[in-house]
């Protein structure tokens, strides 16, 4: 397990609430190595966001096991699971989920404050991260005062705040133009090298998928490695 940051074994997910039972994940096996950058592609509705939520411990699988840094999620208390999530994982959601009332700086500092850092240290770190994603001039802007690409970069800075071992991204370049998409791609590339951060990136962007280390396709509820 030494070099494996995140893994799942025979993960299934059924939704029972709707008019009919839907089996979205039918036995997903997956391993993510340290500093590896992996793309997940698949048709709309194939279950990519569902898989990402299960991998991130935001949603429970119906069966199977997700393991983060050697710790099986199902064996952890709710509280401990939250801690592992906060300390080891970063999330960039399909829709950015920044807090509208807070500035870019405050949004990025939030996970650090939740982790118990004092305000000054949290703000210093947030400022450094925002500078890294090219937003030093925008730190006091609220989400509504930022462009789509800028918001996405704030979300990425926030995901990196706690020096996570891995970052899970759902369509990080979905609403971005080519230049912004490229900038985010390069940022991921350099972070995986310099800080040994692993990335799982759900994307429809073939160009982005191609630049990552591995591409998986989610189809019929299973994940298959695509020949590159
Ligand atoms: N809470 C829920 N209850 C019932 N069914 C759900 C629920 N969430 C998702 N689904 C169903 O599960 C399937 C997978 O949804 P999911 O959001 O994971 O797809 P996706 O691959 O991320 O799609 P997209 O590319 O459009 O974002 C869909 O058919 C959806 O209708
Ligand atoms: Mg989705």
**pLDDT tens digits, one per residue of 114-173:** 989 999 999 999 999 999 888 999 999 999 999 888 898 899 999 999 999 999 999 888
**pLDDT tens digits, one per residue of 4-16:** 999 999 999 999 8
C-beta separation of 72 from 85 below 8 A: no
Q: 41 is in which domain, residue-wise?
A: 4-225
Q: Which is more confident, 95 or 217?
A: 217
Q: How confident is the model at residue 184 (pLDDT cuts 50, 70, 90)?
A: confident
Residue 207 CA, ligand 2 centroid: distance in Å: 18
Strands 166-170 and 198-202: parallel
C-beta separation of 55 from 168 below 8 A: yes
Q: Is 192 touching ligand 1 by the criterion CB < 6 Å?
A: no
- How far apart, in Å, do the first and last CA atoms of the chain sit? 26
Residue position matching structure tokens 């979905």: 174
Residue 111 CA to residue 91 CA, distance in Å, equals: 11
**Average pLDDT of the segment spanning 51-61:** 93
Closest to 133 measured CA to CA, from 147, 112, 113:
147
For residue 42, the ligand 1 atom closest to its alpha carbon is 21
Residue 122 CA, ligand 2 centroid: distance in Å: 31
Count of domains in the chain?
1
CA 207 to each of CA 175, 201, 203, 212: distance values in angstroms, whole numbers, following the listed order: 15, 13, 10, 9
Closest ligand (CA of 218): 1
Residue 101 CA, ligand 2 centroid: distance in Å: 25
CATH of the domain at 128: 3.40.50.300
């Amino acid at each position: 397990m030494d070099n494996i940051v995140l893994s799942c074994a025979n993960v299934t997910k059924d939704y029972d609430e709707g008019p009919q039972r839907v089996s979205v994940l039918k036995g997903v096996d997956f391993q993510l190595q340290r500093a590896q950058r992996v793309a997940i592609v698949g048709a709309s509705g194939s279950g990519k966001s569902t898989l990402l939520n299960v991998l991130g411990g935001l949603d429970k699988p119906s069966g199977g096991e997700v393991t983060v840094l050697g710790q099986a999620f199902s064996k952890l208390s709710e509280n401990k699971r939250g801690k592992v999530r906060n300390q080891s994982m970063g999330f960039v959601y399909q829709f950015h989920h920044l807090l509208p009332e807070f500035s870019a700086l405050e949004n990025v500092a939030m996970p650090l404050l939740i982790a118990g850092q004092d305000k000054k240290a949290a703000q210093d770190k947030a400022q450094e991260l925002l500078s890294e994603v090219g937003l030093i001039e925008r730190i006091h802007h609220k989400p509504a005062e930022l462009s789509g690409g800028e918001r996405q970069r704030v979300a990425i800075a926030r995901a990196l705040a706690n020096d996570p071992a891995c970052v899970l991204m759902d369509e990080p370049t979905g609403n971005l133009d080519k230049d912004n998409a490229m900038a985010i791609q390069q940022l991921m590339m350099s972070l995986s090298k310099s800080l040994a951060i692993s990335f799982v990136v759900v994307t429809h962007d073939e160009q982005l998928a191609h630049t990552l280390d591995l591409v998986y396709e989610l189809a019929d509820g299973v994940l298959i490695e695509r020949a590159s």
